[in-house]
Amino acid sequence: MTNSDSQTAPVLQTLPGDEVRQIMWRFAERFDLQMAVQSARGVARGPVARLVAAGERNNHEWTEAKNELLAAFDAAGLTAAFMEPELGGFIAGPKNLAVALIAFELGWVDGGAATCSLAGNLALSPIHERGTDEQRTAYMSRCVPSPANSDGPQRGAFCLTEPLPYVGVDTGVLGGKIRVAAWEDGQEPVLQVEKRGRFITNMDFASFVVAAVDADDDRIKGSCMVILEETDPGTYDRGAPTQKLVHQLSSTCDPVFNLEVPANRIVGGYDIVDGVIVPRFSHGQVIEAVFQRTRVTVGAMSAAKLLSAVEPIIRYQRTRFRGGDSTPGTPRHDLGLQMKEDSLQRLVDVWATGEAAASLVFAAARLFDRYDPLEEQKNQTLTAQGIRGARAQFRTLRKMQTRALEYLELIESAGHGADDERLSALEGDPLIQFLVQDSLAQVLCPACKLWNTGYGANMMREAVSLMGGYGVTEDCPGFLPQKWVDAQLEATYEGPEAVQRRQLSITMTNALFLAQFRGWIRELSAMPNGPAMGAGTLAAAMELWDWSLQYLQGTLDADGHKLYRDQRHGVTFPMTDALCWLLASHQMVLDVTELSNKGEQHPVVASGLPGTLQFMRDLCHVQAARAAGEVGRICAELVYGYEGQAAEGSRYGATPDESFDRLRLHLDRSLAGSRLAKDRAATALSRVMIPEALDYPA
Amino acid sequence: MNQGFHIAVCGSLVPDPLQTLEPIAGPQGPALKNEMMLPAVLDPWASHALYEAAHLARQDGESRIWLVSIGPRARLQQLMMSIAQKAVFELVACDGPAGGFTDAAEVARVLADTVAAIPELDPQRLLLFGGCASASRDAGATLQMTGERLGITEQFLNVDELTVQEGVLRIKERIEGGRYLVSACDGPPAVVGWATGMLPEPPNNPQIGMQNMRSIMPALQRAKSVTLEAPELTFESVTVPQQRRDTRIVKDTPTDEIAAELVQWLREDS
Ligand SMILES: Cc1cc2nc3c(=O)[nH]c(=O)nc-3n(C[C@H](O)[C@H](O)[C@H](O)COP(=O)(O)OP(=O)(O)OC[C@H]3O[C@@H](n4cnc5c(N)ncnc54)[C@H](O)[C@@H]3O)c2cc1C
């Protein structure tokens, strides 16, 4: 390496172990989660890895060997992890972080297995989030592996996507229909449900399906989700398996249903208003509640892929020239490809991306763990106030937006003569707390789904390329090529990138989110170890993004159209991508800060802490610089690219004034030292001790 | 007659076998490089002992199991996140070194004292379980010495199977030539040093883990700190066993062919 600093700085001794991760991802005090991690790891690196190594991914049928995985998931408690303790689970309280950690461990080896284990949760989620109490108890308890379910636990499927030309990205145009089949006076109506699904996970063995359907009958209003069971009268055709090139350890089919079901299968129940069945939740409302949690989990799988690539790549690089007549003790023998700066630095990029992705997704999962009880409280509070229905709730909450903003301002000035009484009054208001957390949840969820999977897939390609030709063979250690294509599916299912960008383009303009975002800029600028982590660079990039967003919102293009608006994807979507870079890098800085605050007190972590911290800070710096580069490029293109004109009343001129240039220059100059951090991180990768062999078969 | 056994399983952590072990000179004598940070597992021989104990306890429904471990407290805690999921047991922990450079006699002394001090343990019902060897320090003597100190003279080493018929222990020990010595022992107390046993590793079950943790966490907090002193013990030199890894990935090779290849390799080597 070129700089002398890299020779003297403490060096990473070993790959970060569980204790380091528990601190960074904030579950050091949660034994239930630590156990879930060990348990999921045992399945992933045991039976799952053996199946992949044995070539079981080379066919798309649901084979007996694949089916055995379900029993392995059950035995290891993974199926029950989603359930409440009174229904046979072992994790009390919200389970978003638990499920994300399980997805991470399974995804470390195989994304399909992770999907297979979690798709049951996807089927149960509509019932869990919006179902009636009876539905929740009935279906959750049937799905627990327990002696009470002597035939084994039931498994479900979630059926939204339909054959062309219906539901895909656009979930509004439903082909699935629901009609009244029979309705006798005073009796539960019987409904006829017709639904065709496409790409439905778990369908080879699901005994119930939660399907999205639209009313096709004057006696039913709107759309809903409805539970179908295998034993309902009519057709329950699982359909042909999808000829997948990805995730072959999960089951996917195109099923066909035409069944009669009682109306109490409508998820969340229904009311009868003037002789019409009115479902309490439309299918849109149900899937919104479901996806905002399950999408986080998908982001965890992609993060795991990147981090899992590090060890096999280091081993490949170091051993590349061993054997033959190479002599031990020579750099060629001992370092192999790690003699080459590029090999090391590209691996630094892969690791930094994985690290940032993991930080982002676990932050999102923890946020949902805080959000779940707040959402519950919000519903109770509003119901107690007699405010029912999504629209009425929305109106009430909108009116509270100003107070929530006031709350955020008071937090900022707390201790500096702020009105403490007012602050604690607002703090105690569950609706305000909900609004604040909601504004974050609506950003972090799509952000981790979008960035981890999309950019993660790009970086998996980079990881594969570091393995040379081996990288595109079935024998590649760590299953890297499989992980690369799997990441592409993870970017697609549960809402492709466009869906996440669309959501973000709206939610990231929420004043409550932006107020918190600006608070982060101030925090980053004042961080004690900020410069070592590139926190200043990150703050500069965040300021530039914030300024650019406001500019784009207040500017018209040459044709007089508003630049930042719903359908103008060319403007809004790149801004969402830019934000994701910032959010991931920000969470990474927070996690490394946590490690530096708590690591010293942990005897195991403390023993290698200087090296671990130096490396993690360097990775942070590398990532912050990379994020800043993306943000600078995107903002410059958008701000200058449209030759815009000021909208009426806008405080911006036709062309950006020198504010933009000043911020951009500040950003560029803040990059000082970021490449030295990369050099140091690269050196560390050439010295870090790795195990003799991968702990799962390849 | 049997109200169950009181099984004390002695075992602690060793570095995960996949890790690179590099001896270094530490402040207190030899150590392994980055030992504290290397992922650890329960000593494989002790694990077999634990699974066999759990199996025995499940059969009579009355036995109790204590896992007696000397190791750094924080590392033991981490180890429990997986081991506690595999079998129902109570932990008795001593906060001390667990490396390969401790003196077997000292370890035996502390183990014996610790076992003897378990309040609810009935010495007449005691089965002292452990590995017949250890993956970190293969002295092969720790368990015998622990047994001796506890006054247990019925000792069985290299055990692969223990069954109980009408209170009598029937024990299969490995002896030379791939054969077994089968003994009948009237009952506890006895020392059983396990070879590999016959049982597979149980899957992790977080439900069992959470149940165990209720007593394990307090046990870890209570762990008294122990020093293993052996002033007379010095190490002249320390090297890892000479080994050469020649890994080839060959799929679907019949077992006979693998065996033949191993035999040939052993012949070449000797
Ligand atoms: C293996 C697998 C498992 C699956 N499991 C399930 C399951 O269990 N349940 C289920 O319901 N579904 C499942 N799906 C379906 C999956 O969610 C859909 O494939 C996904 O939502 C995309 O829909 P589509 O394939 O119809 O893409 P399309 O709707 O055809 O979209 C294609 C592309 O067009 C662009 N695009 C489309 N609309 C817009 C827009 N409005 N704005 C901007 N760009 C747009 C985007 O680039 C998008 O990626 C699964 C899919 C696969 C492959």
Query: With an 8 Å Cβ cutoff, is B121 touching chain A?
Result: no
DSSP secondary structure string for all residues of A639-654? HHHT--EEPTT-SS-S
Q: How many CA atoms lie within 13 A of A523 on its CB side?
A: 13
What is d(CA A287, CA A295) in angstroms, rounded to the nearest whole number?
11
A329 CB neighbour count, 10 Å cutoff:
8
**Contact flag A607-B36 (C-beta cutoff 8 Å):** yes
Angle (deg, nearest 10), helices A569-598 and A341-384: 100
What is d(CA B84, CA B94) in angstroms, rounded to the nearest whole number?
17
ipTM of the complex: 0.89
Nearest CB to B206 within list A18, A36, A695:
A36
Residue indicated by tokens 């592996």: A145
Residue A55 gets the label, from left (phi > 0), alpha (psi -120 to 50) or beta, of left
Residue B200 DSSP class: P
Write down the pLDDT at residue A655. 66
Nearest-Cα distance to chain A for B192, in Å, is 28
**Contact flag A604-B74 (C-beta cutoff 8 Å):** yes
User: Topology of A157-281 in CATH?
Assistant: Butyryl-CoA Dehydrogenase, subunit A; domain 2 (2.40.110)
Ligand 1 site-directed mutation target among A161, A247, A252, A450, most atoms within 8 Å of CB: A161
Nearest Cα neighbor of A365 from A291, A441, A438, A430 is A441
Query: With an 8 Å Cβ cutoff, is A42 touching chain B?
Result: yes
Nearest CA in chain B to A40: B204
User: Using a CB-CB distance cutoff of 8 angstroms, which residues of chain B are in contact with residue A14?
Assistant: 34, 37-38
Write down the pLDDT at residue A518. 97
Query: With an 8 Å Cβ cutoff, is B221 touching chain A?
Result: no
| CA-derived radius of gyration, chain B | 19
**Contact flag B74-A19 (C-beta cutoff 8 Å):** yes
Write down the pLDDT at residue A5. 47
What is d(CA A306, CA A303) in angstroms, rounded to the nearest whole number?
5
Strand partners, B178: none
Query: With an 8 Å Cβ cutoff, is A516 touching chain B?
Result: no
Work out the average pLDDT over B244-268: 81
Q: For residue A510, what are its two tokens?
A: 């929420």
User: Using a CB-CB distance cutoff of 8 angstroms, which residues of chain A are in contact with residue B16?
Assistant: 691, 695
A361 to A100, A165, A282, A445, A446: CA distances (angstroms): 8, 33, 28, 8, 10
Mutate to test the interface with B, among A692, A695, A696 (most CBs of B within 10 A): A692
What is d(CA A69, CA A76) in angstroms, rounded to the nearest whole number?
11
Write down the pLDDT at residue B269. 62
What is d(CA A180, CA B251) in angstroms, rounded to the nearest whole number?
58
What is d(CA A22, CA A15) in angstroms, rounded to the nearest whole number?
14
Mutate to test the interface with A, among B13, B18, B24, B36 (most CBs of A within 10 A): B36
Q: Where are the domains of chain A?
A: 4-155, 157-281
What is d(CA A573, CA A503) in angstroms, rounded to the nearest whole number?
10
The H or E element spanning position B130 is strand B126-131
Write down the pLDDT at residue B1. 42
Q: What pTM value is reported for the model?
A: 0.94
The single-letter code of the amino acid at B183 is S
Q: Note the pLDDT tens digit of each residue in A208-219.
A: 999 999 999 999
Nearest CB to A90 within list B38, B73, B206:
B206
Peptide bond into A147 cis (omega under 30): no
Nearest Cα neighbor of B138 from B73, B60, B193, B214 is B193
- Chain CA centroid to CA A73, Å: 22
User: Which of helix, strand or coil describes residue A612?
Assistant: helix
**Contact flag A39-B249 (C-beta cutoff 8 Å):** no
User: Which of helix, strand or coil describes residue A278?
Assistant: strand
- φ and ψ of A366, to 5 deg: -65, -40
Nearest CB to A32 within list B33, B206, B245:
B206
Q: Which atom of ligand 1 is nearest to the CA of A169?
A: 29
Q: Note the pLDDT tens digit of each residue in A235-261.
A: 999 999 999 999 999 999 999 999 999
**Contact flag A31-B217 (C-beta cutoff 8 Å):** yes
- Chain CA centroid to CA B194, Å: 8
Q: What is the mean pLDDT of chain B?
A: 91
User: Which of helix, strand or coil describes residue A692?
Assistant: coil
- φ and ψ of A447, to 5 deg: -65, -45
What is d(CA A86, CA A137) in angstroms, rounded to the nearest whole number?
10
On the 0-12 / 13-18 / 19+ scale of CB atoms within 10 A, A185 is exposed
The H or E element spanning position A190 is strand A190-196
What is d(CA A301, CA A448) in angstroms, rounded to the nearest whole number?
11
Nearest-Cα distance to chain B for A676, in Å, is 26
What is d(CA B48, CA B193) in angstroms, rounded to the nearest whole number?
10
**Contact flag A603-B74 (C-beta cutoff 8 Å):** yes
DSSP secondary structure string for all residues of A295-363? HHHHHHHHHHHHHHHHHHHHHHHHHTT-STT--TTSHHHHTGGGGSHHHHHHHHHHHHHHHHHHHHHHH
Nearest-Cα distance to chain A for B128, in Å, is 28
User: Using a CB-CB distance cutoff of 8 angstroms, which residues of chain B are in contact with residue A80?
Assistant: 206-207
Question: Taking a C-beta distance cutoff of 8 angstroms, is the pair A264, A188 a contact?
Answer: yes
Residue nearest to atom 50 of ligand 1 (CA): A199
Residue count of chain B: 270
Nearest Cα neighbor of A289 from A363, A381, A379 is A379
Residue indicated by tokens 């295998």: A230
Q: Calculate the CA dihedral of residues A265, A267, A270, A276 and round it to 10 degrees.
A: -70
What is d(CA A507, CA A345) in angstroms, rounded to the nearest whole number?
35
Question: Taking a C-beta distance cutoff of 8 angstroms, is the pair A408, A516 a contact?
Answer: yes
pLDDT, averaged in runs of 10, over chain A (698 residues): 54 95 97 96 96 94 96 93 88 96 98 94 93 95 89 94 90 94 94 97 97 97 97 97 96 98 98 96 92 93 98 97 87 94 98 98 98 94 89 91 95 77 91 97 98 98 97 95 98 96 97 97 94 97 97 86 91 98 98 97 93 98 98 96 76 74 96 97 97 90
Nearest Cα neighbor of A531 from A356, A673, A349 is A673
CATH placement of domain A4-155: 1.10.540.10
Query: With an 8 Å Cβ cutoff, is B81 touching chain A?
Result: yes
- Report the pocket of ligand 1 as residue ranges, CB < 6 Å: A 158-161, 168-170, 199-201, 244, 247, 252, 489, 492-496, 498
Q: Note the pLDDT tens digit of each residue in B124-174.
A: 999 999 999 988 877 789 999 999 999 999 999 999 999 999 989 999 999
Nearest CA in chain B to A89: B207
User: Topology of B6-225 in CATH?
Assistant: Rossmann fold (3.40.50)
Q: Note the pLDDT tens digit of each residue in B60-96.
A: 888 999 999 999 999 999 999 999 999 999 999 999 9
User: Which of helix, strand or coil describes residue B13?
Assistant: strand
